[in-house]
Structure formats: C-alpha cells, structure tokens
Chain A
Amino acid sequence: MTEPLLCEISMPGRIGFRYPAPDVDPTPLPEGLVRESLPLPELYEPDVIRHFTRLSQLNYSIDTGFYPLGSCTMKYNPKVNEEAARLPGFAHAHPLQPIETVQGSLALMFELQEWLKEIGGFAGITLQPAAGAHGELTGVLIIRAYHEARMDAKRDKILIPDSAHGTNPATSAMSGMRVIELKSDSRGNVDLKALQAECDETLAGLMLTNPNTLGLFDENVEEVIRMVHEAGGLVYGDGANMNALLGIVRPGDLGIDVLHYNLHKTFSTPHGGGGPGSGPVGVAAQLVDFLPGPIVDIIEEGDASEDLPPLYGFVYPSKSIGRVKSFHGHFGMMVRAYIYMRMHGKEGIRKIADYAVLNANYLLARLRNTYHVPYDRICMHEFVVEGRWPEVPDIQALDISKRLMDYRFHPPTNYFPLIVHDALMIEPTETESLQTLDAFADALIKIAEEAHARPELLKEAPHFTPVGRLDEVKAAKELVLCCAVASVSE
C-alpha cells in the first residue's frame, strides 16, 4: 500500500490556504524580476492532512515501540517537553531582540550552560552547535586554534580509535587535520602501545568516545589521557555515550579537555526523523577563550535583597574561533533539555545512568548464550554482539535485523562498529521496562532458532511491514530524487 506524492494529488486550480486581502495602496511589482511560473502543488487542507497523517502511519517510532539503536540513545521523549517548547514566550521570540525583552530565554540558556558544565566537569560551554557532528567540528577547531595560539601549528595529527563513529574522522578531515587510526586491544580498550607510537610533537589530539562504541568503559582511560597530555596534545571526548556517565563520572575530572553533548540523545529531545539535534560543547579552563561566540553570561549582577534578578546578555570570548552557526543555536531543543533536566534533578540524573547500564547488562546476560559477544565484560549502556553463526554462513546481521521487524521491534545498529563482524549494537536506554527487554530478548532468541531451522524466514523478512526490502542498487543507479512536475500546472 503506497501513498501518492504531493505532485500526484495536486489538482490545477485547487486552493489550500487563504491569506487576508492586501490593505495597503499597491506598488508595481519589480520589472523583469517576477517569476513566470511557480510549479508548486495545488492541494487543499484535507489532502495535506490526510497525506501526511497516512505517511506517519507507515513509520516506526519511539511512541510505537522499542528502538535499541546503539549509540543513538532512543529514550522516551517526554510530552511535556513539547508543551514547554511551544510556550508562546519561547516560540515567538526573535533572536535579535533587545536583551531586556528576552531575559526568560537568556536565563534558561544560562542555567542550561551551568548544568551541562556541572555534569561534565567543564569550565566553559557553548550551546551554539546544531548537532553532535557540528559540536565535533567546533571542538576540533578549538583544539587547532589552541595549538596555533601557542605557536605550535605543526601539530596537525588527530588520533581516532578504529571503533569510532564515522563523524570523528570526517570532522578531523574537515578541520584540515591528518587522521591516524588507532587500533583497539583485545579487551576493546585503546591499544596503549599503538598510542605511545603516535605521541610525538605533531600530535594535536585524540578523539575518544568513552564508553566506546562497543559499550565498554576504557580500562586505561586515565593513562590514555595522561599520555596524550604529556605529548602536548589535547583530548576530545565524543559525548554521544554520556547516557552511561551521568552522575557516574565527569569527563572533565578524567582530564577530557573538550566534549560535545547530544541533547537529542542524552537529554531526551526528539530525534525528529533525522533532526533537529543540538550539540553543546564543554571545555576545560585553558580553552574557554576559544569558544564560539556569543555565549550567554550575566552582564549585570542582580541583588537578592532588592529582589532584582541578574541581567543576562551575550559575551564574545576573547580568542573565539568565531561563529559556527547563525544566531544562538537550537533554542527550541534547549527548552526541551532544560525541562527534562529540571524534572530529573540531581538524583534523577544519576538514575538515568544507573538504569541505562542496568538494562544493557540485563539484555547482555539474556543474550550471551545465543549470540557471540566479542568483548565479554560488564558493559555500560550498550553492547555489541555478532549477528552471525559459523554454522549458518548465509545468515548475516542484516537478515536478523529485517526479521526483528516482523516481531515489531526496530533493529539495533547494524555493521557498526566496523571492528566487529556483522555487528549488532544494542542500547536499550533507561526508559524501557523489564517486560520490553524480555520480549526483545525472546524475539532475538527465537530468531536465532529460525536462523538454524528455517533460514528463509530471515532471508525473506520483513513480511509484515508496509514495504519489503528495497532495491538500493536501483535507487543509486537510476537516481530519482524528486517528483516529476509533469502533473503540476505551470
């Protein structure tokens, strides 16, 4: 059952929406600059609503089921977040208004900055980056600027573990750095010998995801950081996996110099089908001056005795790398993260990590006898199993994933990290119940049995979804990237 495209529902002459009539004396339109045709579709509101409502019904989402996607932290998105973000005082504030008129937004941003600094153990922070990868770019540019300011510009090497997310090397290359891949040891930690070999005067920094994408807390993390610092480099922390660390340890305390947060992972702002996210970046004291500007700060102290609140405004760090985005960042996502943190409070923040790690280890315990676990030790908030068995060589992780959809689960992350064959990276998050975890484990165990006894069930899966497996080769070779406008009137 497929849904037509907008251009296919369009009917010449149909009007969807009326604006008020003009109420001013007319001015002639600019000569030679008016367009002759506007090939947009012509629909009326019921068409539009039905079209998008039916499309939504083809989607799987957190609101419909479990999404154990490793490193994505698909936790429940509280509905009150949406209420808060839509409060008119937040939704309709223009970013360039005089600061006296937007003290509410500025106070919110200031508090959020303080909380994120506190959670991470950082001296400074920017809320400007729009997403995790954007935060990574910001962080690597800060590292680069730091070395340049110390006249140490020959430091152009960034070390990245082989388990890292693809954004890490992409970011480093985008920042003009040389990327060297570091291998992991047999327990999934950064290989110290490999690291030592790269510690020289060209080392700008190390990008570390801890816990890493195997879900493992690096057993030598302090040594790793010490080695990089001793060689004159800085350590960038990819904060995608912060869900395991909230209230457990502060990356800044371990020596991480700069780290990005993903508000759309750790702090429950919704994934939106691919964004918007938000990637604040926290930094240690020696990097505060390099942060992108502007940052929110108190520009006039308040007076508690006079019941006078502080005046919040924008400041520009003295050695700032510059803007990474227009305006101030994704304020709408900051509101959601703020109320989420306010509802959790000090104790709740810690419980997030407690339960995220509990849930992951529980699933690991249920699955380890059925699926091979390459790095079998207590995991953090996620773990990796191999989606294959030597005795059924035709079955791959992809087939297991597609069959999971028949059991009404979203598959885990596939084929990542690259260092595990047919990896299935599973992250349950703390908002899933024991019943859901057991149902998921049961399904995976059943699928393992099917793989051995009736492999065609996996190979032909999914059976019960709106569409079956797609011809991706055709999609790439016969590129059709937009609707032909033949049916839309000119």
Chain B
Amino acid sequence: MFFPHTPAEEKAMLRAIGVGSLEDLFQAVPAAHRFPELKLPPALSEMEALAEMQELAYANDTARDLVCFLGAGAYNHYIPAAVDSILRRGEFYTAYTPYQPEISQGTLQAIFDYQSLITALTGMDVSNASHYDGATAVAEAVNMAYANFRGKRNRFVLSPALHPHYRDVVRTYSHDSSLQLVGDDLEPQSDPAALIPFINEQTALVVVQYPDFFGRIYDFSALGEAVHRAGALFAVAVNPIALGLLKPPNEFGADIVTGEGQPLGIPLSFGGPYLGIFATRKEYIRKMSGRLVGESVDNRGQRAYVLTLTAREQHIRREKATSNICTNQGLIALASAVYMSLVGKAGLRQVSELCYQKAHYAARQIGRLPGYKLWSQVPFFHEFVVQCPAPVDEINEHLLDHGILGGYDLGKDYPALPDHMMIAVTEMNSKEDIDLLVDMLAEVSND
C-alpha cells in the first residue's frame, strides 16, 4: 500500500480542514449510494500478489517457450537488452506529458529523436509522436484525408490486403454512412492495379499495406500515380522492419505513411501496448493529428525542444480538432527510438535480411511437401500463405504437441481461403526450428 498517512497526521489534517472525520468530506454524495460495499477480494502483500501474477503467467505458453511461426500483424523479434534498461528509468516512465518543456527535455528530445528516425525510415518529411497502433493510425489517416478535402470528397479505397483489424477499426470510426469505404471486398489475390477502377474524383484516400497482410510486396508506383491523377491522397501502412530492406513508400508517391511499430523492440505482450507510426509530407503537417515536438531556443540561447502546433489539438481546438487524441504511446515510441538507434543503419538491414532469407527458405521447403501449395508467387518479405491438406486448427494442434506455435488461420478472416495458413519467420527462428516445422507439417500430410 502506498498511503503515507499516520493516524496522528490524519487527525491533524482533518482538524486543519475543519471536519471531524473522513466521511464528512463526502457529504455532497447522495446518501443512498454512498460508501457501497464492494465485492472485491481482500488486499495481498506485494509478495503474495506477485506470486499470484507468476501463477497466472505460468499458465501461458508463449512465443519464447514455443517455436513461433505466428505473425498476422504482431511479430516475435529479438529485443536488445539496452531497450528495457532505458525504459526502466523512472525519469522516463514516471514522467508526464511534456507540457512544461523546462523540466521535460528528456522526453521532448527523445520524441524528437523518434520523429527523426521515423522520417528517415519512411522517407516522409515529418512524423508525429505516435498514435495508439497500426489500426488507429489508418483510421486517423482517413480522418486526415477527409479534413484535408473539407468533406468534399467522401470516398475511401481500402485494399483487401490491408490487415482485417485495420479495416474493422476504420469502419467503426466511420460510423457515418455517408463515407464510402470501397475496394476491400475484392478477392484477396488481387494485385494493387485492381484498386484503380475504384478511384474517382470523389476519392479522398487510397490505403494499401506494405508488405501486405499476406506478406506480399508490390511496387506501388503505378497505383500512386493513379491516385494522384484523381487528386486523392495515397497512404501506405508499413511494417518498419521491412523498411530496413525495402524501398521506402515515398518512392511510390505516398502522402501518408502509417505503420505498426511493435516489431521495433516492443514485446508481444498479448496484443499491447503497441505503436502507431504516422508520418506525412510537409504540405500536410497541419492536417496531421497527434503530438509534435519541434526545435527552438530557450531564453538562455540554448537549443531546446517543445510541443508545437498544439493549437491543432483537442485541448485548444476542442470540437474543431481533427482528432481527440491526447495520451498516445510515449514510452513505446521511446523504446522504438532506442531500438532503432542501437541497431542502426547496419543492424536494421541485417535483421530485415535475416527475416527475408529464413522465410524464403521455409517457403521453399514447405512448398516441396506433398499436399502443401504456396498460395502466391508474388515476392514476399517474411510472411507467406500456404494452402494446407487439412484444416489449419488441426495442423496447429499437431504442431503444438511438438512445441511449435503454428501460423495464422486465414479462413477466419477470408472465407475464400479455408485451410490456408499464414506463416511468419523472423530472426528468432533458426534453421533447426524451420526444419522441425517442415518435418511436423510433413507428418500431417502423411496421415
């Protein structure tokens, strides 16, 4: 418990206030509902509470206990020890939002470093300080495009290969049925050119993913040109690890780059907290929501950092703000900045290539197995889809018996793809791990 008050202090304070007891402080609360009897368990000491947490944690099998080939938007990567050592500094994690720049230069400059790293990685001009995750970042891109055209364009083209969760969130946020959300009921096999017929002069934004949900990589240049010919904006949702190897989206003409930053040194943590990457070109700086850190000087002539363009945000603009976002993912952005600066230019290329090479080895080996067929011949990064000889959950049960966490069952989200498994391979998978997977998959097709 964290209450410092001694009985003597409590008495003295009540006297100073001029009331007789603690209950006297709550007279404004309706008597009928005051001081309810809460059905909660009794308090535990720290020792007992932590023991209970350990029991709960042991009831899980994780991507570190098992050999993990599961991806679908969250990936098992190695987290260098340096990342957590910085995150555990109380000066970072117990600090508040840096509204008082004089005593928050640590947070402010770390965010500025983060913004710089993201612009370098994505090829955009400016990044914000983060959104909640990859899904809400896409929803904010939709908001931004809508506001950019002042509501005059209400059509949004979404790739069917955009993560199902991202498309779900966009639909939830776009409750307003006057927004047309089109394109994502195309066949999953479709390539980006299939989106072009959906683009017209009502289109505000076209959104694709890179690599896409199925792991495929495309050159979006032709699509980008088509988007701009129609006067619309082009958004690309990225996996930042892939950008260690692949062309950045600015080369396809992206106006907005969003992404899920979890692969950048953030643990899987059963789904969150993760990191919404959001970057754009300088023409659209003011249309972008979320916090921004800018450089300036202080009254002693020192270079210093401060939250800027805050007049766009909810605490000033209120109902005219483009977004309501307040708290974002500050500490997670810091973690990714530590990761990116540690692995750096050489390291990010190295890890990216390891993922690519290992995934291609796995795909080749699995593709040779009778009963298994690679679903796509399009180039891919570190994730690929395999048509299987049996239902995916049956196969995964068998894999689990051998200590393997199998790939994602695509049939759940794409009814046209039953018995299709999506396998992700990262630097955490050794050749032996992959060979084991192949052997276990072979066992299933032999049954």
Whether the complex brings A and B within 8 Å at their CB atoms is answered yes
Q: Does B82 sit within 8 A of A, measured CB to CB?
A: yes
Closest to A38 in B: B345
Find out whether the CB atom of B296 lies under 8 angstroms from the CB atom of A2: no
Our pick among A3, A17, A53, A173 for the contact of B89 (Cβ within 8 Å) is: A53
Q: Does B194 sit at the interface, judged by CB under 8 A? A: no
Chain B residues, CB < 8 A from A52: 86, 89, 92, 110, 334, 338
Min distance, Cβ A343 to any Cβ of chain B, angstroms: 5
CB neighbours of B74 from chain A (8 A): 94-96, 327
Minimum Cβ distance to chain A for residue B328 (Å) = 5
A323-B172, A365-B16, A410-B103 given as contacts; is B64 within 8 A of A92 (CB)? yes
Q: Check if A324 sits within 8 Å of B326, measured CB to CB.
A: no
B301 to chain A, nearest CB (A): 9
Q: Which residues does chain A contribute within 8 Å of B27, judged by CB atoms? A: 378
> B400 to chain A: which residues have CB within 8 Å?
98, 101
Known contacts A61-B90, A346-B40, A466-B105: A17-B347 contact under CB 8 Å: yes
Q: Distance in Å from the Cβ of B150 to the closest Cβ of chain A?
A: 14
Residue of B nearest to A437 (CB): B13
29 contacts between A and B (CB under 8 A): A6-B113, A16-B344, A33-B246, A38-B244, A49-B82, A58-B104, A61-B96, A74-B96, A82-B88, A89-B58, A91-B268, A92-B269, A94-B76, A96-B408, A101-B60, A119-B38, A131-B326, A166-B318, A167-B324, A253-B33, A254-B30, A274-B328, A325-B272, A327-B73, A346-B39, A357-B25, A365-B17, A416-B315, A434-B4
Instruction: List CB contacts (< 8 Å) of B128-177 with chain A.
Output: 129-130, 132-136, 143, 163, 165-166, 168-169, 171-173, 175-176
Is B40's CB under 8 angstroms from A345's CB? yes
Tell me if A474 counts as interface (CB < 8 A to partner B): yes
CA distance A91 to B83 in the complex (A): 14
- A72, A82, A87, A253, most chain B CB atoms within 10 A: A87
- Is there contact, CB below 8 Å, between B2 and A78? yes
Most buried by A among B35, B113, B316: B113
Range of interface residues on B (Cβ < 8 Å): 35 or more
CB of A326 within 8 A of CB of B274, answer yes
Interface segment, one of A18-26, A281-289, A299-307: A18-26
Q: Which of A250, A348, A470 has the most CB of B within 10 A?
A: A470
- B112 at the binding interface (Cβ < 8 Å): yes
Binds A, one of B200-208, B227-235, B356-364: B356-364
The count of chain A contact residues (Cβ–Cβ below 8 Å) is: 202
Find out whether the CB atom of B76 lies under 8 angstroms from the CB atom of A75.
no
Report A-chain residues with C-beta under 8 Å of the C-beta of B57: 87-90, 104
Assembly CA distance A2 to B303 (angstroms): 7
Residue with the greatest number of chain A CB neighbours at <10 A, chosen from B74, B80, B342 = B342
* From A7, A75, A108, A174, contact of B2 by CB (8 A): A75
A275 to B94, CA, bound (A): 10
How far is it, in angstroms, between the C-alpha of A42 and the C-alpha of B344 when the chains are bound? 5
Complex Cα distance A87/B172, Å? 33
Asked whether B357 lies within 8 Å of A332 as measured between CB atoms, the reply is no
CA distance in complex: A346, B19 (Å): 25
Chain B, residue nearest A216 (CB): B28
B360 contact set on A, CB distance < 8 A: 24, 27
Further 8 A-B residue pairs, CB within 8 A, beyond A22-B357, A94-B68, A105-B60: A14-B344, A15-B346, A34-B245, A61-B90, A132-B327, A326-B260, A410-B103, A482-B112
A277 within 8 A of B: yes
Q: Does B127 make an interface contact (CB < 8 A)?
A: yes
Task: Please indicate the chain A residues that have their CB under 8 angstroms from the CB of B28 in the complex.
Answer: 216-219, 377-378
- Name which residue of chain A comes closest to B113, CB basis: A6
Which of A63-71, A192-200, A384-392 lies at the binding interface? Answer: A63-71
